[in-house]
């Protein structure tokens, strides 16, 4: 079973092999149970857990792989089913047939701008039906589980994911009629949540900061749900061999085919008719390998690819593609990309950083997924958010490719790595998903400025006269603050009396604890979460934006386009009697759109009346 841990699987020494053993068992062959047996076992373990020790029932996503693949190993020894590619009919039976066969597009302007001599080609995975590279593995995992008799009509699919696998699974579930529950860290965009919801998936969000092996992580929560919901399955992209196999069988074959410009299908047909003669002519032009296997002679297409660049999340994409390309193009160089703050890269020193979080979605982890074969990666490149998002914006503006953030990550690595390639050589870059997932994120100039990935000066748009004036110009009244012990009822009276919608909550020393807003109090009271007599500390709002007096009004206006107010803070250094010191943030005021508008319109009025009086004098 893919998702039910056998007693052996709960121990670290019995890893699930992504490529060896029973493909559809996803567990050690000898431990394979029927779904009913496994569920009974799961229920028993759960009851035991409830009444005795709080032992967790889950399979780690980072068990060492027992895969038997090696560059030298014979194909006939493979334990896996090969899924061959077929030509799509004119009318597709359903949208799942629009997964795979994505376009390869030449990148024209960016290589010139970076002084590259080689050719850069982008494999545009956002043309898959669900919008990402993950559609391939989602469909393959579902169909392999169906073929193995694990997934049956009416069952529930649960998956911990950064979103795109969720969308792929939800798409397959919508078409095939399964219930789908997606467990996703909070960091992932609202756009992904909305698409998932539209596809009928149920969504559970988990804290981004939770370690992968904690019960609160997306992996931990998915397992808890799996243990509670009958007939549910975690297809487990971190361990499932169908993940890298989807890329080994399709993405990599497409790359080879696209880099030759001739389809494998036509080679096979020719061979049947004219065997040796065509083999000879193909050899001249296409570098076709002519290999002998037990079944007879077969054509193996070797593409004209010198380098492949791909980001790694589960590692399924890079592992599957790299294995096939290394078999067919022995001199190819595989470049893996991993964000700073993740630990997938090798050597280990590359991963040393103070960063714990990054904004690019879909790549990097705090564990090494079972399906990631790092031995096929020749060089790792560590990426950062700023270069990733700016490169994605460049791909959109210069090449018209409406791609997502991790596409920029891969391309940013490619323009560095491909410097070593000569004229006539070729580098393929995987662009995993589309801008659809990030409309409210890196597509927005404001978001880029707020996150520090773009400087206002770099924006092309002409800024209004007040843009670079400092916040000090505003006429801010003394701040009204409340202590955390003040009741909600009293706070509402104070706010109404002073005509404010919100106030900072500070402790006795003036330290900011959070904000209290009329809106937040009202919704909490109406939802029955708090009483009027409760202290405001119960409704503290912490998602507010802070700004300092030396920031400019442009930054303030960007904040106010999204938020109702910004808290003006002032940093103080406080020395203690023992000579030690600490930094404290104190409230200086609260600014709203009305304050900014008053300032701008008052200045304009003043200018107008000044020019009128000079006119009169003339």
State the catalytic residues.
134
Among 168, 185, 311, 535, binds ligand PLP (CB under 6 A): 311
Of how many residues is the chain composed? 618
The verdict on 141 binding ligand PLP (CB under 6 A) reads: no
Q: How far apart are CA 248 and CA 383, in angstroms?
A: 25
Question: How many other C-beta atoms lie within 10 A of the C-beta of residue 212?
Answer: 17
Q: How far apart are CA 81 and CA 361, in angstroms?
A: 31
Give 442's contacts (C-beta < 8 A, 6+ positions apart). Answer: 359, 389, 392, 393, 405, 448, 453
The radius of gyration of the chain's CA atoms, rounded to the nearest angstrom, is 29
Among 100, 131, 313, 535, binds ligand PLP (CB under 6 A): 313
Which stretch in 315-323, 386-394, 451-459, 483-491 sits in contact with ligand PLP by CB under 6 A? 315-323
Q: In this structure, what token pair is assigned to residue 256?
A: 């080879």
Give 540's contacts (C-beta < 8 A, 6+ positions apart). Answer: 484, 505, 513, 514, 515, 516
Q: In this structure, what token pair is assigned to residue 241?
A: 């061999």
The verdict on 323 binding ligand PLP (CB under 6 A) reads: no
Among 14, 258, 406, 517, binds ligand PLP (CB under 6 A): 406
Among 164, 250, 481, 552, binds ligand PLP (CB under 6 A): 164
The verdict on 156 binding ligand PLP (CB under 6 A) reads: no
The verdict on 21 binding ligand PLP (CB under 6 A) reads: no
HSE-CB for 268 with a 13 A CA cutoff? 10
C-beta closer to ligand PLP: residue 160 or 315: 315
Which stretch in 180-188, 314-322, 346-354, 576-584 sits in contact with ligand PLP by CB under 6 A? 314-322
Beta carbon of residue 363, minimum distance to ligand PLP (angstroms, whole number) = 5
Q: How far apart are CA 517 and CA 480, in angstroms?
A: 13
Question: How many other C-beta atoms lie within 10 A of the C-beta of residue 610?
Answer: 10
Beta carbon of residue 521, minimum distance to ligand PLP (angstroms, whole number) = 38
The verdict on 514 binding ligand PLP (CB under 6 A) reads: no
Among 6, 38, 132, 502, binds ligand PLP (CB under 6 A): 132
C-beta closer to ligand PLP: residue 165 or 557: 165
Residue 91: strand, helix, or coil:
coil
Residue nearest to ligand PLP (CB): 362
Number of residues that bind ligand PLP (CB under 6 A): 19
Q: In this structure, what token pair is assigned to residue 44?
A: 């028993």
Beta carbon of residue 581, minimum distance to ligand PLP (angstroms, whole number) = 44
The verdict on 131 binding ligand PLP (CB under 6 A) reads: no
Q: How far apart are CA 421 and CA 135, in angstroms?
A: 32
The verdict on 363 binding ligand PLP (CB under 6 A) reads: yes
The verdict on 316 binding ligand PLP (CB under 6 A) reads: yes
Q: In this structure, what token pair is assigned to residue 185?
A: 């860290």
Among 15, 61, 341, 404, binds ligand PLP (CB under 6 A): 404
The DSSP 8-state label assigned to residue 573 in this structure reads: E
Question: What does the binding site for ligand PLP look like in residue numbers (CB under 6 A)?
Answer: 132, 134, 162, 164-165, 311-317, 361-363, 404, 406, 432-433
């Amino acid at each position: 079973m893919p998702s039910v841990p056998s007693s052996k699987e709960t121990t670290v020494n019995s890893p699930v092999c992504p490529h060896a053993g029973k493909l559809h068992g996803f567990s050690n062959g000898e431990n394979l149970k029927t779904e009913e047996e496994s569920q009974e076992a799961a229920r028993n373990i759960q009851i035991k857990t409830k009444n005795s020790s709080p032992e967790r029932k889950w399979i780690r996503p980072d068990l060492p792989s027992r895969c038997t693949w090696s560059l030298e190993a014979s194909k006939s020894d493979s334990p896996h089913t090969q899924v061959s590619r077929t030509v799509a009919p004119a009318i597709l039976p359903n949208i799942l047939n629009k997964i795979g066969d994505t376009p390869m597009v030449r990148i024209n302007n960016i290589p010139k701008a970076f002084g590259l001599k080689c050719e850069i080609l982008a494999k545009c995975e956002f043309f898959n039906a669900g919008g990402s590279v993950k559609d391939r593995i989602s469909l393959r995992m579902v169909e392999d589980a169906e073929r193995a008799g694990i997934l049956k009509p009416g069952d529930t699919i649960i998956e911990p994911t950064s979103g795109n696998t969720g969308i792929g699974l939800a798409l397959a579930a919508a078409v095939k009629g399964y219930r789908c529950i997606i467990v996703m860290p909070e960091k992932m965009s609202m756009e992904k949540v909305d698409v998932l919801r539209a596809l009928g998936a149920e969504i559970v969000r988990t804290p981004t900061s939770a370690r992968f092996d904690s019960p609160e992580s997306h992996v931990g929560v998915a397992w808890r749900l799996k243990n509670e919901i009958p007939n549910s399955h975690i297809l487990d992209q971190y361990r499932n061999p169908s993940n890298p196999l989807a890329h080994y069988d399709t993405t990599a074959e497409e790359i080879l085919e696209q880099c030759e410009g001739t389809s494998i299908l036509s080679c096979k047909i020719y061979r049947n008719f004219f065997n040796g003669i065509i083999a000879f002519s193909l050899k001249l032009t296409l570098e076709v390998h002519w290999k002998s296997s037990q079944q007879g002679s077969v054509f193996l297409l070797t593409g004209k690819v010198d380098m492949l660049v791909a980001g790694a999340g589960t590692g399924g994409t890079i592992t599957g593609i790299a294995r096939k390309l290394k078999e067919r193009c022995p001199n190819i160089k595989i470049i893996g990309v991993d964000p700073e703050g993740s630990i997938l890269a090798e050597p280990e020193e590359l991963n040393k950083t103070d960063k714990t979080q990054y904004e690019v979605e879909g790549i990097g982890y705090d564990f090494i997924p079972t399906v990631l074969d790092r031995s096929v990666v020749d060089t790792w490149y560590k990426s950062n958010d700023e270069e990733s998002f700016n490169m994605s914006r460049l791909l959109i503006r210069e090449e018209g490719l409406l791609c997502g953030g991790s596409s920029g990550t891969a391309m940013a690595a490619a323009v560095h790595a491909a410097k070593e390639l000569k004229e006539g050589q070729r580098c393929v870059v995987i662009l995993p998903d589309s801008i659809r997932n990030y409309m409210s994120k890196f597509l927005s100039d404001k978001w880029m400025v707020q996150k520090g990935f773009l400087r206002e000066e770099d924006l092309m748009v002409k800024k209004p006269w007040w843009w670079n004036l400092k916040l000090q110009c505003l006429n801010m009244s003394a701040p009204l603050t409340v202590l955390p012990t003040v009741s909600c009822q009293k706070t509402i009276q104070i706010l109404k009396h002073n005509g404010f919608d919100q106030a900072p909550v500070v402790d006795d020393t003036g330290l900011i604890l959070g904000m209290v807003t009329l809106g937040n109090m009202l919704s909490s009271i109406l939802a029955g979460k708090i009483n009027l007599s409760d202290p405001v500390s119960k409704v503290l709002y912490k998602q507010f934006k802070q700004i300092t007096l030396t920031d400019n009004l442009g930054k303030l206006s960007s904040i106010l386009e999204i938020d109702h107010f910004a808290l003006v803070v002032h940093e103080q250094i406080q020395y203690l009697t023992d000579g030690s010191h600490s930094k404290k943030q104190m409230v200086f005021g609260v600014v709203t759109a009305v304050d900014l508008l008053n300032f701008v319109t008052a200045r304009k009025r003043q200018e107008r009346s000044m020019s009128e009086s000079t006119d009169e004098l003339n």
